[in-house]
Amino acid sequence: MKRKYLFGPVPSRRLGYSLGVDIVPYKTCTLDCVYCECGKTTKLRNRRSSYVSASDVIRELSDYLSKEPKLDYITFSGGGEPVLNTEIGKIIEFIKTSYDAYKVALLTNGTLFGDKKAREDVSMCDLIIPSVDAASEKAFKKINRPAPGISASSVIKGIELLNREVSGKLWVEVFVIPGINDNEGELRKIKEALIRIGPEKVQLNTLDRPGTVKDLKSAGREKLLNICEYFSPLKTEIIGRYGGSKKRDFASSDMKEKMLLLLSRRPCTLEDLSEVFSPQKNDLEKYLKELKNSGRIQSYKGERGLFYRAPEEENKKAER
């Protein structure tokens, strides 16, 4: 079955081998974060809608999960905000009732949890990771560039309510961008917000792939270590690059298409791709060359080396 909503499994820095589920059209989001690795938000939205029907996603999931793949998580993520899709609750319920051996994670920007229905929809997740990159409205606008009507205070309040109501784990991610949210005043406000939310842990992230805005810097390790200390007694960790040894060979005849599907959602280096698909870098290099020559992917330099990415037309094809 041709995959439209599932991608990977990808080696996630936090979740091990994670099957991605992408249930909103490419770059439909409530935010337009300066650091977004998926590109600029083209559909900035603040209201939920049934962007993709649950039955279409469930059909794909059934086909994939019936083969009993080894996965650490099934993760709602991708090129937009998954909670914008009002069908998310039905899809999570399907996984937890029909394939309950699999754990479900949700990577979310946390902007929609002021809505009780949105909180109920995600309540069966085993793990939810919302983001709190800013606590002042000024920094929130600068780093997250929200849709109208979304404020830093409403996001923090919504996540606070969510953590009181769900039984699964809740971690909070803070994306640190030097010069925007790493000053003492902002960090103090973020810490106060985190204490109110009460997550199991806080994860510090910084630029790993090129962001939407050029010339953003990533925070150095020393800076992140200082923030870990500053956030004490909150349990805080720095997200490292995936270091697992569970490489699995996903090589197959349609590997090129699978690579393309992944690159349409997430820019990757050759190293990243070899962790997902196969240790045979020579094959991957050959496919990358073919895809590049046919104009289906582009490459550009980032801090970790040369990144490959499928341009917007390929994202549109993946949505069809």
The window from 33-41, 192-200, 244-252, 287-295 that contacts ligand SF4 (CB under 6 A) reads 33-41
Least distance to ligand SF4, CB of residue 106, Å: 12
Q: Which is nearer to ligand SF4, 22 or 314 (CB)?
A: 22
**Contact present, 212 and 302 (Cβ < 8 Å):** no
Q: Which is nearer to ligand SF4, 197 or 284 (CB)?
A: 197
Q: Which is nearer to ligand SF4, 21 or 291 (CB)?
A: 21
The window from 35-43, 155-163, 240-248, 268-276 that contacts ligand SF4 (CB under 6 A) reads 35-43
Give the one residue of 29, 71, 197, 224 binding ligand SF4; rule: CB under 6 A: 29
According to the binding rule CB under 6 A, does residue 218 interact with ligand SF4?
no
* H or E, element range at 64: helix 54-65
Q: Where are the beta strands (DSSP E) in the chain?
A: 6-12, 16-21, 28-29, 43-44, 73-76, 104-108, 127-130, 169-175, 201-205, 236-238, 298-302, 305-309
Q: Which is nearer to ligand SF4, 109 or 163 (CB)?
A: 109
Least distance to ligand SF4, CB of residue 184, Å: 24
Least distance to ligand SF4, CB of residue 302, Å: 16
Q: CA separation (Å) from 293 to 27, 213, 219?
A: 26, 27, 35
**Contact code string over 77-96 relative to ligand SF4, x by CB under 6 A:** ---xx---------------
DSSP, collapsed to helix, strand or coil, labels residue 287 as helix
Q: Which is nearer to ligand SF4, 22 or 87 (CB)?
A: 22
Residue given tokens 């937009």 in the structure block: 80
Within a 10 A sphere around the Cβ of 222, how many other Cβ atoms?
Answer: 8
Least distance to ligand SF4, CB of residue 34, Å: 9
Q: Which is nearer to ligand SF4, 150 or 227 (CB)?
A: 150
According to the binding rule CB under 6 A, does residue 41 interact with ligand SF4?
yes
Number of residues that bind ligand SF4 (CB under 6 A): 10
What's the rounded Cα separation, in Å, for the pair 154 and 158?
6
Q: In residues, how long is the chain?
A: 320
What's the rounded Cα separation, in Å, for the pair 10 and 69?
13
What's the rounded Cα separation, in Å, for the pair 124 and 105?
10
Phi-psi region of 50 (alpha: psi -120 to 50; beta: other; left: phi over 0): beta
The window from 31-39, 114-122, 161-169, 236-244 that contacts ligand SF4 (CB under 6 A) reads 31-39
Interacting positions 142-181 with ligand SF4 (CB under 6 A): none
Interacting positions 94-133 with ligand SF4 (CB under 6 A): 109
What's the rounded Cα separation, in Å, for the pair 88 and 94?
10
Indicate if the alpha-carbon torsion angle 312, 319, 250, 36 is positive or negative: positive
Least distance to ligand SF4, CB of residue 237, Å: 20
According to the binding rule CB under 6 A, does residue 38 interact with ligand SF4?
yes
Integer-rounded Cα radius of gyration of the chain: 19
Give the one residue of 31, 122, 166, 297 binding ligand SF4; rule: CB under 6 A: 31
What's the rounded Cα separation, in Å, for the pair 133 and 143?
8
Give the one residue of 19, 24, 33, 104 binding ligand SF4; rule: CB under 6 A: 33
Residue given tokens 């559909």 in the structure block: 43
Report the interface residues with ligand SF4, using CB under 6 A.
Answer: 29, 31-33, 36, 38, 41, 80-81, 109
